[in-house]
């Protein structure tokens, strides 16, 4: 889907006096998350003094944005332009974001919570929330002289990077563990990417990509473009707050792979409060990991450091990061509220995928199943309380991982009383009726 953006906000924000560089009076540059040292904007991602991760340093006091201005803009993530590291909506790219916040009463009953809303990010152009992050990284690519877009992917990022590269006219290379679901590889190939399967875990792929990024200068969205990329996830927080009438929910439940999404949700809410769009109030954050790769859940439970997992053992490939870069920052978010990190078995995940599909009509991939199952776990733990309004982020579409749905199922053929796949029938009513009544 190559798209020339024509929505009103593009016109509104692409002012004649827009500065040529992303460093504007609302953005000071980079700042090291570890030591606080400022760094100049550019193709950098690591503090030159301490190796800590760099992030965008906004001058929030200088940012003037109000609800009416945002409401007058068209859909997609650029409606929150002032809180993103871009000068103006890019001329080319995918139309990303503005996904619905669905009331999920039947699923709420099943999970035992009073009010549940699903942030349905399965509906982005490549069917996962990764389109948001890639859009922000790619919007900076021309300014940084990037001629090849690339990524290290557990699956979803591959298609998001490949499709975005196609839309802006760049070649793309995506590196994945060779064990990734075949559908996710085909999805990336469809957009014209070069897919490089690596005989190793995601962490092995990631290590290789850091070296490739360093040596070849390609724009790896989640390595050397990471400070921009990570900002894209904040738009989920912005949308949730706006969709709730400019306020936060009681509880947010989100999957944790690297931890970047989780921490950027918290940052998004903080920034909305800082610029006066919402009132600051406590939000309990619940993280969701697969039990077979749960380094952050273990660290949270033990009170210790995030220890890497060498060999993930789960069918939730999109969360199978054994050495999560932002794990320690997830713990920091949790230290400031009364949340939790839940570790969910693959059986619970598969059941949650089926429940979400059959009770709400939303087909999620395993990471979404982990998230929904974590709602139930957090309720049992007492983190989710009576009367709470809970927002759960389902971040990828089940069409990408159809086999996961059947995990643990005894797949018997359908009968008139049991849903499922019926046998092949002749095309006449009497045959159908006989089968239905058998």
Nearer to other proteins, 117 or 260 (CB): 260
Q: Which one-letter DSSP state was computed for residue 309?
A: P
CB of 51 to other proteins, least distance (A): 4
Nearer to other proteins, 185 or 260 (CB): 260
CB of 127 to other proteins, least distance (A): 15
CB of 324 to other proteins, least distance (A): 6
Distance from C-alpha of 181 to C-alpha of 185, rounded to nearest angstrom: 7
Nearer to other proteins, 44 or 63 (CB): 44
Q: Which one-letter DSSP state was computed for residue 172?
A: E
CB of 257 to other proteins, least distance (A): 4
Q: Which one-letter DSSP state was computed for residue 292?
A: T
CB of 152 to other proteins, least distance (A): 8
Chosen residue from 206, 235, 289, 349 binding other proteins by CB under 8 A? 206
Query: Which of 192, 341, 173, 326 is closest to 254 using CA atoms?
Result: 341
> Is 192 a binder of other proteins (CB under 8 A)?
no
Stretch that binds other proteins, among 69-77, 153-161, 167-175, 334-342 (CB under 8 A): 153-161
What residues between 43 and 62 interact with other proteins by CB under 8 A?
45-53
CB of 151 to other proteins, least distance (A): 9
Nearer to other proteins, 26 or 267 (CB): 267
Q: List Cβ neighbours of 129 (8 Å cut-off, separation of 6 or more).
A: 121, 156, 233, 236, 261, 393, 395, 396
**String of contacts with other proteins for each residue 96-135, x by CB under 8 A:** ----------------------------------------
Q: List Cβ neighbours of 330 (8 Å cut-off, separation of 6 or more).
A: 256, 259, 262, 263, 287, 296, 300, 324, 341
Q: By CB neighbour count within 10 A (0-12 exposed, 13-18 middle, 19+ buried), where does 108 fall?
A: buried
Chosen residue from 202, 262, 285, 363 binding other proteins by CB under 8 A? 202
CB 257, CB 154: distance < 8 Å:
yes
What residues between 270 and 329 interact with other proteins by CB under 8 A?
307-308, 310, 318-319, 321, 323-326, 328
Beta strand pairing call for 101-103 and 54-58: unpaired
CB of 6 to other proteins, least distance (A): 32
Q: What are the DSSP calls for 75-140, one per residue?
A: SSGGGGGGGSS-SS--SB--------EEE-HHHHHHHT-SEEEEEEGGGSTTSBTHHHHHHHHHHH
User: Tokens at residue 146, please?
Assistant: 């990037």
CB of 54 to other proteins, least distance (A): 10
**Angle in degrees, CA 281, 287, 291, rounded to 5:** 165
Stretch that binds other proteins, among 80-88, 149-157, 179-187, 333-341 (CB under 8 A): 149-157
Residues of the shown chain interacting with other proteins in the complex, contacts defined by CB under 8 A = 34, 45-53, 152-154, 156-157, 202-204, 206-207, 210-211, 214, 222-223, 226, 230, 257-260, 307-308, 310, 318-319, 321, 323-326, 328
């Amino acid at each position: 889907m190559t798209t020339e953006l024509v929505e009103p906000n593009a016109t509104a924000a692409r002012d004649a006096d827009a500065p040529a560089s992303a460093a504007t009076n609302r953005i000071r540059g980079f700042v090291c998350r570890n030591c606080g040292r400022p760094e100049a904007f550019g193709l950098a991602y690591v503090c030159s003094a301490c190796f800590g991760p760099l992030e965008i340093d906004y001058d929030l006091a200088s940012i003037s944005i109000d609800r009416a201005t945002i409401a007058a803009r068209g859909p997609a993530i650029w409606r929150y332009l002032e809180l993103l590291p871009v000068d103006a909506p890019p001329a080319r790219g995918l139309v990303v974001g503005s996904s619905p916040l669905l009331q999920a009463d039947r699923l709420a009953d099943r999970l035992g919570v009073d009010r549940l809303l699903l942030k349905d990010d399965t509906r982005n152009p490549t069917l996962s929330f990764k389109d948001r992050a890639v859009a922000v990284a790619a919007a900076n690519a021309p300014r940084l002289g990037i001629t090849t877009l690339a990524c290290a992917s557990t699956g979803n990022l591959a298609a998001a990077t490949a499709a975005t590269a196609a839309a802006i006219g760049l070649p793309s290379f995506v590196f994945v563990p060779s064990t990734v679901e075949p559908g996710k590889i085909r999805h990336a190939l469809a957009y014209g990417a070069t897919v490089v399967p690596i005989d190793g875990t995601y962490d092995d792929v990631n290590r290789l990509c850091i070296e490739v990024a360093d040596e070849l200068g390609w724009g790896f969205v989640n390595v050397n473009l990471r400070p921009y990329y990570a900002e894209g996830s904040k738009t989920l927080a912005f949308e949730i707050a706006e969709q709730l009438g400019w306020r936060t929910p009681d509880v947010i439940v989100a999957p944790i792979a690297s931890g970047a999404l989780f921490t950027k949700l918290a940052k998004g809410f903080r920034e909305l409060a800082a610029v006066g769009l919402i009132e600051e109030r406590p939000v309990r954050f619940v993280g969701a990991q697969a039990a077979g790769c749960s380094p952050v859940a273990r660290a949270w439970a033990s009170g210790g450091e995030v220890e890497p997992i060498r060999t993930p053992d789960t069918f939730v490939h999109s969360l199978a990061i054994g050495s999560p870069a932002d794990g320690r920052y997830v713990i920091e978010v949790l230290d400031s509220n009364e949340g939790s990190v839940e570790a969910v078995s693959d059986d619970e995940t598969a059941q949650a995928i089926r429940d979400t599909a059959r009770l709400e009509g939303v087909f999620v991939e395993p990471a979404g199943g982990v998230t929904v199952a974590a709602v139930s776990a957090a309720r049992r733990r007492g983190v989710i309380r009576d009367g709470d309004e809970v927002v759960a982020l389902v971040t990828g579409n089940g069409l990408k991982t159809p086999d996961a749905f059947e995990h643990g199922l005894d797949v018997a053929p359908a009968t008139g009383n049991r849903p499922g796949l019926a046998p092949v029938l002749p095309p006449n009513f009497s045959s159908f009726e006989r089968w239905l009544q058998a």
